[in-house]
Amino acid sequence: MKSFCVIGLGRFGSSVVRSLVKNNYEVVVIDTDAKKIDDFKDIATHVMIADATDERVLKNIEIDKFDGVVIAIGQNVQASILTTMIVVESGARNVIAKATTDVQVKVLEKIGADRIIQPEKDAGNRVADNLAHPDISDY
């Protein structure tokens, strides 16, 4: 069975986790916030209260063995960049990082994230595309 690791349980990370669990995948979640982790202890396969910028944390869970890693830390740009760097350097596959600013996008690209998501911007583009091309249903 495929397994994924989601780092950061903001709105974006939480919805990624819920969707993956709904599709019966194994999901390990990491967040520094004990309250957020508590909310997911009965949802995710495994939960960890930990700082993902600590290299040992990601090494211990063998981050390179997952089928995909989602770095859903947005506003803490420093933590987002550092975590993505550690994950990419570990050799992990399908590294998806969330960004909140265009500068963050550039840096995450440079570091080597496989895909970068800007939820509001991406959704806005899709809405505009749907309005412009109502005949094409899936953007």
User: Which residue ranges make up the site for ligand ATP (CB under 6 A)?
Assistant: 7-13, 30-33, 36, 51-53, 72-76, 79, 100
Instruction: Strand 46-49: give its sheet, edge to edge.
Output: 46-49, 26-31, 3-7, 68-71, 95-98, 115-117
| Residue with Cβ nearer ligand ATP (11 or 93) | 11
Between 7 and 63, CB nearer to ligand ATP: 7
- The CA radius of gyration of the chain, in Å to the nearest whole number, is 15
Q: Which amino acid is at 65?
A: K
What's the full length of the chain, in residues?
139
CB 74 → ligand ATP: shortest distance, Å? Answer: 2
Nearer to ligand ATP, 106 or 133 (CB): 106
